[in-house]
Structure 1
Amino acid sequence: MQIKNKNPSKDLLDFSASLNPYPPEIDWDPSSVSIAEYPDDSYYELKESIARNFRCDPDEICVGNGSIEIIRAYFHTVLNPGEKVALNKHTFGEYQLSVTLAGGSCVDLNSPDYSARVICNPNNPTGSLIRKNEMLEIAGEEYEKGRLLFIDEAFMDLSDTDETLIGCRKPEAFISRSITKSFAVPGIRFGFGVGEPELIEKIEIVRTPWTVNSFAEAYCIEAMKHYGELEDSRVKIISEKKWLYDKFEDLGLEYLLSSTNYILLKCPVPASEFTASLLNHDIFVRDCTSFGLPDCVRIAVRKRDENQLLVEAIESCLL
């Protein structure tokens, strides 16, 4: 993906959006979609297509206009005013906003009295992955204490799908997913969640009617037929990621090993300065100051020729 700079004669290579650089090819024609009728608000066909890939039942699935809507609908459904939700320190900021909008507040994991916990797995922006066995232990511990567990697996498709909790979750666990990253279609706006049927029914009432438009519904049904092809994406991403690790080491830069399609890089100067310097080379990376990491940037893994341009730009900034 490229975004336009203020200078219309130049394009920026966007390493800030962590999209699959090798998405499956979907033979889909938008003109075949009828816009003369409302979508089926139960989205049963769409849920069936998801259920077949994730080995769950359609009544365990809710849908939304991107994973953000799933996150907000979930907390509006489960939180009472004043209840607390535990978050990791460096993670996606939408959780805190959604909790606040639902009347709750966020605390760290050392707090003894939270009613729900959020885990982003793999975590954004660090790329760290908690393995399934450990996640099941965490889920069990939270269940014994009567707490809810929200798991955001937005990047799991580009990490290790064997580690998902879909299909083996505990009753109190809810899992959020998105096709935005894995199929590189942020414009489609589609996310879904997996949880207990009773909770799913409540969330489906809270969400906006016909929230998934006909184009997004049709695309997602077709994309689910190509879900297995994401294995090829994962293999190629791993190869490019290793190449970037080697280049960062050659440049003397620190980074975190990542399980998915982005890398957290420690900057030699404040992240805001480093980001501005790269912009002068037409490279856009994610300043992680908003994550509480003012000395780090998040860099998407892209194709080799684009990754080469990134490395050359970083090298120039270090001179």
Structure 2
Amino acid sequence: MAVDFPKPVIHGGTGKRQRENTGKNLLDFSASLNPLPPRFAWTCDPGCLSSYPDNGYSRLKERIAQVFHRDTEEICVGNGSIELIRVFCSVVLSGKKTYHTTSPTFGEYELSARLTGAVATGSPETATISFACNPNNPTGELYTRAEMLARFRVASSHGGILFADEAFIELADPSCSLVNETHESLFVLRSLTKSFAVPGIRFGYGFGDPELVAKIETARPPWSVNAYAEAFALEAFSHLNELELSRAYIVKEREDLRKKIHEIGLQCHPSSVNYLLVDCGRDAGLLCTQLEAHDILVRDCTSFGLPICIRVAVKTHEENTLLVEALAACVR
């Protein structure tokens, strides 16, 4: 029997696998992580490993509630932001529902929606869920708070929900966030992965209407946030203010990287975050292969529907220089 089952979404951040496969110390620009994350000491009591985590994550939610001035009943947590996308969709889109996304954007929205049997619609005015990635991945475009509120009003006007994915907003401009807005037609997703450069921790969190959050917490697999991730998160939330230094560094290095990429004949889309979408004017897959020969990994954006584009992270000045040198060698 033929079943229209979707294929997995392609992601960046393949550095670990590529290093293991090749034995080379590849420089990974395909993962868009904070190049200057806050550094702090943190520990996980080994005794925690002999007990199951508190599946309600009461202490963790209380900490998040203090930081963002929200009620604990409005907070959900998960094993990375993708788990919360999946669980959210399973709760909200069960049955014959519809979803709306723009293109290009993060592919997990569509995949998670399709896994529920939901159907895409080109109309946010009728969609059960409208997904908005802010800043957008892979373009780096940052929507203002006013623009996001306008999207929210469209969703709420017909009883839909705006799903605002703010995984990168702490590295762009937090004043554009909707995290302080409370409404049954709004869900805001956050992540520590990008801001603190800890993809191995796997920790995401979200804010929504208490009734919706209760359903998400019920549908989420039990104990999905492990003791190490919880311990890191509890400490990390005390260092969010230090991300101001990260944002200033990213602005400076992003502009420098953009200029240098332009000088070698490639065009960068305007970006407000720690990555650049680069129009290479040639087959992205071939260019990625050529860059690998220079021990550089970048994100092939063919899976975003952009076959002549790559996405590159903004890293340290020294690392960015190596990227530009490799790009120049490949495109000359």
TM-score between both structures, scaled by the size of structure 2: 0.92
The answer as to 2:307 corresponding to 1:294 is yes
What's the offset of the Cα at 1:250?
Answer: 1.2
- Which residue of structure 1 lines up, in the alignment, with residue 288 of structure 2? 275
What's the offset of the Cα at 1:6?
Answer: 3.6
Separation in structure 2 between the aligned mates of residue 90 and residue 34 of structure 1, nearest angstrom: 42
- Which residue of structure 2 lines up, in the alignment, with residue 172 of structure 1? 185
- Which residue of structure 2 lines up, in the alignment, with residue 80 of structure 1? 94
Separation in structure 1 between the aligned mates of residue 80 and residue 310 of structure 2, nearest angstrom: 24
Matched residue of 1:81: which SS?
Answer: coil
Contact 1:5 1:11 (C-alpha < 8 Å) held by counterparts: no
Query: For 1:47-62, what aligned pairs fall within 5 Å after superposition?
Result: 47-62=61-76
Cα 1:133/1:169, change in 2 over 3 Å: farther
Separation in structure 2 between the aligned mates of residue 33 and residue 261 of structure 1, nearest angstrom: 37
Q: Which amino acid counterpart does residue 15 of structure 1 have in structure 2?
A: F
- Which residue of structure 1 lines up, in the alignment, with residue 44 of structure 2? 30
Separation in structure 2 between the aligned mates of residue 283 and residue 185 of structure 1, nearest angstrom: 20
What's the offset of the Cα at 1:31?
Answer: 4.9
Gaps of 5+ in 2: 1-12
- Which residue of structure 1 lines up, in the alignment, with residue 329 of structure 2? 316
- Which residue of structure 1 lines up, in the alignment, with residue 172 of structure 2? 159
**1:266 counterpart (273, 279, 284):** 279
Contact 1:33 1:215 (C-alpha < 8 Å) held by counterparts: no
What's the offset of the Cα at 1:169?
Answer: 4.3
Gaps of 5+ in 1: none
Q: Which amino acid counterpart does residue 84 of structure 1 have in structure 2?
A: T
Separation in structure 1 between the aligned mates of residue 81 and residue 74 of structure 2, nearest angstrom: 16
Q: Deviations over 1:185-237 (max 9, x none)?
A: 11111101100111111110010111111111111001111111111111111
Separation in structure 2 between the aligned mates of residue 315 and residue 278 of structure 1, nearest angstrom: 10
The answer as to 2:33 corresponding to 1:15 is no
RMSD of aligned residue pairs (Cα, Å): 1.5
**1:240 counterpart (238, 241, 253):** 253
Cα 1:37/1:313, change in 2 over 3 Å: same
Question: Sequence identity of aligned pairs in percent?
Answer: 47
Q: Which amino acid counterpart does residue 181 of structure 2 have in structure 1?
A: C
Q: Stretches of 4+ moved more than 3 A in 1?
A: 30-33
What's the offset of the Cα at 1:274?
Answer: 1.0
**1:215 counterpart (197, 205, 228):** 228
Separation in structure 1 between the aligned mates of residue 44 and residue 76 of structure 2, nearest angstrom: 24
What's the offset of the Cα at 1:113?
Answer: 3.9
Contact 1:136 1:170 (C-alpha < 8 Å) held by counterparts: no
The answer as to 2:243 corresponding to 1:230 is yes
- Which residue of structure 1 lines up, in the alignment, with residue 9 of structure 2? none
Contact 1:91 1:125 (C-alpha < 8 Å) held by counterparts: yes
Contact 2:25 2:295 (C-alpha < 8 Å) held by counterparts: yes
- Which residue of structure 2 lines up, in the alignment, with residue 184 of structure 1? 197
Matched residue of 2:273: which SS?
Answer: coil
What's the offset of the Cα at 1:297?
Answer: 0.5
Q: Deviations over 1:151-203 (max 9, x none)?
A: 11111111101111001244301011110101111111110110011111111
